[in-house]
Structure 1
Amino acid sequence: MNKLLRTAFFLSLITISYNLIEGIVSVYFGAGDETLALFGFGVDSFVEVFSGIGIAHMIFRMKYSKVQTQDAFEKTALRITGTAFYLLTLGLVVGSVLNLLNNVKPTTTIPGIIIASISILTMYWLMTSKLKVGRALNSDAIIADANCTRTCFYLSFILLASSGLYELFNILYFDIIGSLGIAYFAFSEGREAFEKVKSGKLKCNCE
C-alpha cells in the first residue's frame, strides 16, 4: 500500500509541475499572439496548481488514515480554486466580448495546437494512471482526482479544435468559441469546488 501511495503522491506532483509549466507557456504565447483561448487555457492551468496542492496534501494524509472528507487545508484550497475559476470565467466572457467588438484576431494559433496536443497525451496518461492506483487502493479520493483530471483532458480538445479551426480558416469566431468553451468548464469547476467545500465529499461530478 505504501508503494501505491507513493505512486499517487508522485502523480500529484507531476500534475502540479506540468500545470505550472503549461500555464507559463500558454499565458506567454496566448498574450503574445493575442489568442484568448490559449491565454484562458493557461490561466486555467495555474488554477489547477492550487487544486493539485490540495490533492497532494490529501494523499499525504492517506498514509496515516482513510480519507473520506476534506480537512481545513483542503477546503481552503478548494475555496481559492473555486474563486479563481469564477474570476477566470468572468475574464474570458468579458475578453471575448471585447475581442469581438474590437475585431482582435490572434496572430497565430499554432502554439495552441502544439500545447493542446501535448496536454491531451499528458492528461490521458495522468487520468488512467490515477484511476489504476485509485482502484488498487480502493480509494474514492484518488479515483475522484482521476475523474477531475478528465476535465483538463476535455479542455485540451476544446483548445485543439478552436486553435486548429482558426489556423485553417482565420475566422475570429473560432477563438471566441474556444474561449467561451473554456469559460463554461471553468464555471463548472468553480461551482463544483464550492459544492465540495459545502458537502465535504470528494466526488467529482465529471465522472
Structure 2
Amino acid sequence: MKKINLKKRALLLSYFTVLYNIAEGLISVFAGAAAGSISLVGFGLDSFVESLSGGVMIWRFSPGKKVSEEEEEKIERRAEKFVAMTFFILSAYVLYSSISKLVLHEVPQTSILGFAITILSLIIMPILYVMKYRTGMQLKSRSLIADSKETLACCYLSGAVLIGLILNALIGWWWSDPVVGLIIVYFLVKEGIEAWKGECECCLE
C-alpha cells in the first residue's frame, strides 16, 4: 500500500480514536459519579487522556507541505514524546486512583452502564489496537506504534474495571479493581519510557 494511503488510514484511525474516547469518557465519568465508583471515573479520565494521544496523531498525519526526511523524523520524535507524556499522565492517575480506593475502602454500587461501556470497549479497542499497530509498522512510525500501545493499555484497563465490577457485584471483592490497576501502572510507565526513548519495534529493522 502506498505511503500516502497508509497516512490517510492512520489519520482516520486517529479521528475515530478521539471521537470514541470522548464519548466513552463522558459516559464513564457520568456512570462512575452516579455509582460512586472511582474506577469508572478513572476509566473515563483515561479515555480523555487517550483522546489527547489521538489528537497528537491527527497533528502528526494531517496533510501539509512536503518536508525532508530529516524534518519528518523531527516531527515523528516530537509526536512520540507527546504520546509518552500521555502515558505518564495516565499512569499517575491510575496510581492515585488505585491507592485512594484501597485506602478509603471505596465500595462502588453496581453500575449497569459501567458494565455496558467496559464490555463495548473490550470489543472495539482490541480491533483498533491491531489496525493502528499494523499501520504504524507499515509506516515505520514509532509514534503511531506507541499510540497503539496506549489503545492496548485501554483494553487492559477496561478488563480491570470490568473484573472489579463483576467481583464486587458477585462476591464483594471491592479491592480487586485497584490491585489490578496497580499492576497496570507498571505497564504504562514501561511503555511511556520506551516511547520517550524511541525504542519501538520499527527502529530495530
Give the TM-score taking structure 1 as reference length: 0.77
Q: Distance in 2 between matches of 1:65 and 1:163?
A: 50
Residue by residue over 1:118-164, the C-alpha shift from the partner in whole angstroms, topping out at 9 and shown as x without a partner, is 101110221232244345x3534344443442222222222222212
Match of 2:102 in 1: 97
- After superposition, where does 1:107-146 map in structure 2 within 5 Å? 107-135=109-137, 137-141=138-142, 142-146=144-148
Amino acid of the residue matched to residue 109 of structure 1? S
Unaligned runs of 5+ in 1: none
**Structure 1's 153 and 86: CA in aligned 2 closer, same or farther, altered over 3 A?**
closer
Query: Could you tell me whether the CA contact under 8 Å between 1:83 and 1:190 is conserved in 2?
Result: yes
Q: Distance in 2 between matches of 1:71 and 1:19?
A: 24
Query: Could you tell me whether the CA contact under 8 Å between 1:109 and 1:164 is conserved in 2?
Result: no
Is 2:92 the partner of 1:87?
A: yes
Is 2:78 the partner of 1:72?
A: yes
Displacement after TM superposition at 1:191 (Å): 4.5
Q: Distance in 2 between matches of 1:163 and 1:84?
A: 24
Unaligned runs of 5+ in 2: none
- After superposition, where does 1:158-197 map in structure 2 within 5 Å? 158-169=160-171, 171=172, 173-174=173-174, 176-197=175-196
- Indicate the percent of aligned positions where both proteins have the same amino acid: 28
**Structure 1's 109 and 51: CA in aligned 2 closer, same or farther, altered over 3 A?**
same
Query: Could you tell me whether the CA contact under 8 Å between 1:92 and 1:180 is conserved in 2?
Result: no
Query: Could you tell me whether the CA contact under 8 Å between 2:167 and 2:176 is conserved in 1?
Result: no
Give the TM-score taking structure 2 as reference length: 0.77
Displacement after TM superposition at 1:37 (Å): 1.9
Match of 2:28 in 1: 26
Residue by residue over 1:25-68, the C-alpha shift from the partner in whole angstroms, topping out at 9 and shown as x without a partner, is 11111122011221221121122122222233333489856666
Query: Could you tell me whether the CA contact under 8 Å between 1:88 and 1:186 is conserved in 2?
Result: no
Alpha-carbon RMSD: 2.9
